[in-house]
Structure 1
Amino acid sequence: MLNNLAQSVADKGDLPRAQELFERALTLRKAALGLQDAATAQSIDSLALVLQNQAKYADAEALYRQAKQIRENLLGPDARETNCEEVKGEFRNQYLHRFRHPKPH
């Protein structure tokens, strides 16, 4: 339910508030379901997307990797949910954006 509210807030463009709500939802899911759960992985993905949309690429990438690892642990490395183009595409987008928009030193 909190995840849905967070998504609604994100859809309206209030990304900092959506991030806060996704973080709370993730905390609750971890407490209720544990870290090795598909719903927890989904919450991690949702938070990663909001971070990505705020140009917090390193944080988003770390979360995408964490969610992928959870799915691999649950489903195996060859499962569609683990190895799908969408997951690969998120990583690719992260690297392309970093390459095109490097941080100033």
Structure 2
Amino acid sequence: MALRHVAALKWSRELTESETREINQAMDLYVSTAVQPRSYSHGPDIGGKFGTFDYVLIADFDSEDEFLAFNSDPLHDAVRAVLAGKVAKAEFVQFDTEWPGDRT
């Protein structure tokens, strides 16, 4: 089963440019040193719609085991530390990209 992990984050307040840069750098550093997903992208919302989330991460893995290793890697705690106090709400979804309903 190939797996896609989606994380959507809502900030607790408006972040500074420096804080946003720090988050981007932490996520880039983590993926460069941790279990490597097949694909990985993240970034801030470009705006335009009220009530959306502020930041999203999407990572594809070849198996559920790879995702679990990625999620439990101790280096993940460094990203969590950068996000601490900045996230009001986080939503996560993992789904099988080989499910017959996915035709993209």
What TM-score comes out, normalization by structure 1 length? 0.32
- Which structure has greater strand proportion? 2
Which has the bigger relative contact order, CA under 8 A and spacing at least 6?
2
The structure with more helix, counted as a fraction of residues? 1
Length-normalised TM-score, structure 2: 0.33
